[in-house]
């Protein structure tokens, strides 16, 4: 009776497994060869590309293209029924209801005032959030790119909120900001007065911007950090030898060379800001009143949360948002293309 060492046994087992797998794979490929050869004979060598792409296209059609077409159809039909066959065709009525305004700057003059309140809120949110996001991400990236003790640790710290679920982010901040939350407890213990952080319209809006920036800044800072590290170090060395002041180095070397990355960050954060929903919905529920109700929440509530589901109106609003996002995406593609060619 012979005794093998355990590692020798496992090596033998692995070798058997590899051989078995190899045989099965070769056999399978050979078994598939005749049907594929027959297909190739029928569709030609060029047609085979379509055959191989077909599974992916079927998945794309079912899960992306079909819902898009359905969304367009919902936007052109009325009633609160879900089934398409039960929905009467209303043409562009949903779009004209959404766009029916005497003065687009005065939401009270609009037929769908909630839609326009959401649009106004979203525009203000995008302007404030994107500005703050880009500025703070840039500052963070510049600091993290410098000579900093425990740089790796700080990079992880700034990136950590990105890993959190938006619901978790919102719940953490709700716990801090609510009436009996951590921030008010600190204020009271230091002799201050309680502040209605989530129930005052202005405060509430401020915190939606703040929390959103806090949660996503790490991601954009990381992109900018990669951009900063791609700038050749010899340019900085030459500037240092010439005795160029630091602010001049920043404006003449860092900013121009970082510009393509910066533009990508602006566009990405812009798209994300237009889509803002989850963390804000959990944090403020769109309140107080409609002070923090943004466009995606309007679409969600119109379609699903209200007792009468106005699916057509919500679909029409979502198409209008899609147009805005498409323009922004094209802009990003153009910038990326321009960046590559230049």
Partner 1 sequence: MFKQLKTITGGLMALCMPVAAMMAATNTAKAADPTEVRIMWYSDGNEGDVMRDLLDRFEKQNPDIKVMLDRVPYKTVVEQLPALLDSGQGPDLARVTDLGGLSRHYLDLRPHLKNAKYFDDNFASSLPWFRPATGNKDGIYGVMSQLALTLPLVNTTLFQQAGIPLPGPKATWDDWAKASKAVADKVKAPYPMAFDRSGHRISGMSISMGGKFIDGDKPALVDAGFKSGMKNLVDWHANGTMSKALWGSVGGTTYRGATEEFANAQVVFYMSGTWQFTQFAKTVAKNFEWQAVANPCGPAACTGMPGGAALVPIKATKNPQAVARVVEYFASEPVYEEYHARTLFLPAHAGLAKKGINYVTDDANVKKSLAIAVEQVAQTSPIAFKFQGYEHNRILFNAMISRVNQAISGEMSLDDAYTRMQADIVEGFAAKGIKLQ
- Residues in touch with partner 1 (CB under 8 A): 23-24, 26-28, 30-31, 78-83, 108, 111, 113-114, 117, 178-179, 196, 198-201, 284-293, 297, 301, 304-310
Our CB check for partner 1 shows the closer of 79 and 244 to be 79
Q: Does residue 317 contact residue 98 with C-beta atoms inside 8 Å? A: yes
Task: Give me the least distance between CB of 134 and partner 1, in Å please.
Answer: 28
Q: Does residue 317 contact residue 115 with C-beta atoms inside 8 Å? A: yes
Our CB check for partner 1 shows the closer of 190 and 202 to be 202
* 143: exposed, middle or buried (Cβ count in 10 Å: 0-12, 13-18, 19+): middle
Residue entry with tokens 């679920």: 165
Our CB check for partner 1 shows the closer of 85 and 152 to be 85
> Who's near 301: CB < 8 A, 6+ residues apart?
286, 293
> What six digits make up the tokens of 60?
């794309």
Task: Give me the least distance between CB of 14 and partner 1, in Å please.
Answer: 19
Task: Give me the least distance between CB of 133 and partner 1, in Å please.
Answer: 24
Our CB check for partner 1 shows the closer of 111 and 246 to be 111
Alpha carbons 329 and 68: distance in angstroms, whole number = 17
Task: Give me the least distance between CB of 222 and partner 1, in Å please.
Answer: 34
Residue entry with tokens 């319209």: 201
Our CB check for partner 1 shows the closer of 9 and 86 to be 86
Task: Give me the least distance between CB of 252 and partner 1, in Å please.
Answer: 48
Cis amide linkage into residue 80, ω under 30° from 0: no
Strand partners, 101: 110
């Amino acid at each position: 009776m012979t005794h093998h060492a355990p590692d020798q046994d496992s090596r033998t087992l692995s070798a058997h497994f590899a051989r078995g797998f190899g045989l099965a794979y070769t056999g399978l490929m050979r078994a598939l060869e005749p049907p594929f050869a027959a297909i190739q004979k029928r569709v030609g060598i060029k047609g085979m590309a379509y055959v191989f792409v077909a599974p992916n296209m079927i998945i794309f059609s079912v899960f992306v293209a079909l819902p898009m077409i359905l969304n367009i159809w919902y936007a052109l039909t009325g009633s609160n029924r879900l089934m398409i066959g039960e929905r009467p065709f209303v043409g562009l009525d949903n779009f004209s209801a959404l766009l029916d305004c005497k003065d687009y700057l005065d939401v009270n003059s609009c037929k769908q005032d909630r839609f326009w309140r959401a649009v106004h809120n979203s525009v203000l949110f995008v302007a404030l959030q994107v500005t703050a996001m880009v500025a703070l991400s840039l500052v963070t990236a510049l600091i993290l790119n410098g000579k900093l003790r425990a740089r790796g640790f700080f990079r992880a710290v700034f990136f950590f909120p990105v890993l959190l679920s938006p619901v978790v982010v919102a719940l953490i901040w709700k716990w801090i900001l609510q009436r009996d939350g951590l921030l008010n407890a600190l204020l009271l213990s230091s002799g201050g007065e309680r502040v209605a952080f989530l129930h005052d319209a202005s405060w509430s809006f401020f915190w939606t911007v703040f929390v959103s920036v806090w949660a996503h800044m790490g991601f954009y800072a990381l992109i900018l950090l990669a951009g900063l590290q791609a700038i050749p170090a010899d340019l900085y060395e030459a500037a240092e030898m010439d005795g160029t002041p630091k602010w001049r180095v920043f404006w003449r070397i860092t900013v121009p060379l970082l510009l393509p990355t910066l533009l990508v960050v602006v566009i990405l954060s812009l798209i994300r800001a237009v889509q803002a929903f989850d963390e804000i919905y959990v944090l403020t529920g769109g309140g107080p009143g409609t002070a923090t109700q943004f466009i995606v929440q309007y679409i969600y509530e119109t379609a699903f949360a209200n007792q009468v589901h106005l699916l057509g109106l919500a679909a029409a609003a979502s198409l209008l948002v899609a147009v805005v996002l498409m323009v922004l995406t094209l802009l990003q593609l153009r910038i990326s293309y321009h960046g590559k060619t230049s």
